[in-house]
Amino acid sequence: MTPDAEDPRELVRRGWDRVSKIYRPPERADVDAFGHPRSEYATWLAPILGSVGTGGAALDLGCGCGIPTCEILAQKFQVTGVDLSDVQIERARRRLPGVRFLREDMSQVRFPPGAFAVVVSLYAIIHLPVANHLPLFRKIHRWLRPGGWFLAILGESAYTGTDPDWMGWGAPMYWSHADGDTSDRWLRTSGFEVVHRSYVPEGEGGHALFLARKPGAGTLGPPRAVERKHRRGQPAPEPL
């Protein structure tokens, strides 16, 4: 058995080392290889930026090369970016010297309780073995202060598998995720209030976008305003 077959995270790490500059080329990192522009990320992040005061701490799990999420968050927050890939973290450090980047596995990294006002993870938890998702949601809940936000793009349908040559880019890749309803349940089981869920299309498929909040005294902004903002332009999202 190869090391890749034994440890999907090693496969993911080496895969992202290989495809980092194909997914977000240095000269046009604002658009990913699937056509998601920076403006779409800005729309997803806008309710958080609008609801939380300046100067708090934000965490981006699976931050990639730091563009655009960490860069947008850094307008308002002290940002920590975590990524498994050496190449992604190296690029991120060069692009955003004011941001703290950690080359860590998001399921192993440790932070103190209540360390963050905001945790974001876009298109990244889908690469983590699905058995780790609920434990990670519980940790994220602990890392947030009361009233803190968790914004995530997760799987819409359940899938676990490997592609030996993803997109013909010369690297294997692994994904593992539950369907959206299961992720929704796991978020609530972890203690979150899910204030918004919508479908983010991509080619013939798509992903599930969640905005969840840790209840508590420090509640940040009205959920209805968040929902309205998020739903603008989205294809038939179902508010929960």
Ligand X SMILES: C[S@@+](CC[C@H](N)C(=O)[O-])C[C@H]1O[C@@H](n2cnc3c(N)ncnc32)[C@H](O)[C@@H]1O
Asked if residue 16 binds ligand X (CB under 6 A), the reply is yes
Q: Is 82 in the site for ligand X (CB under 6 A)?
A: yes
Burial zone of 1 (CB within 10 Å; 0-12 exposed, 13-18 middle, 19+ buried) = exposed
**Omega of the bond prior to 68 within 30 degrees of 0, cis?**
yes
Let me know if 46 is exposed, middle or buried by CB neighbors in 10 A (0-12, 13-18, 19+). middle
- Where in 185-224 is the site for ligand X (CB under 6 A)? none
User: Rounded to an integer, what distance in angstroms lies between the CA atom of residue 56 and that of residue 36?
Assistant: 27
Instruction: Look at residue 120 and give its three-state secondary structure.
Output: strand
Q: Does 45 bind ligand X (CB under 6 A)?
A: no
User: In this structure, how many other beta carbons lie within 10 angstroms of the beta carbon of residue 197?
Assistant: 22
Q: For residues 136-165, which are near ligand X according to CB under 6 A?
A: none
Residues recorded for the chain: 240
Part in contact with ligand X (CB under 6 A); list of ranges 99-107, 160-168, 197-205, 227-235: 99-107
Residues binding ligand X: number (CB under 6 A): 21
Q: How far is the CB of 16 from ligand X (least distance, A)?
A: 3
Q: Which stretch binds ligand X (CB under 6 A): 44-52, 83-91, 139-147, 178-186?
A: 83-91
Q: Is 81 an interacting residue with respect to ligand X (CB under 6 A)?
A: no
Q: Residue 163 or 193: which CB sits closer to ligand X?
A: 163
Q: Which residues contact 167 (CB under 8 A, 6 or more apart)?
A: 19, 22, 33
Binding positions for ligand X, rule: CB under 6 A: 9, 12, 16, 32, 62-64, 69, 82-85, 88, 105-107, 122-124, 127-128
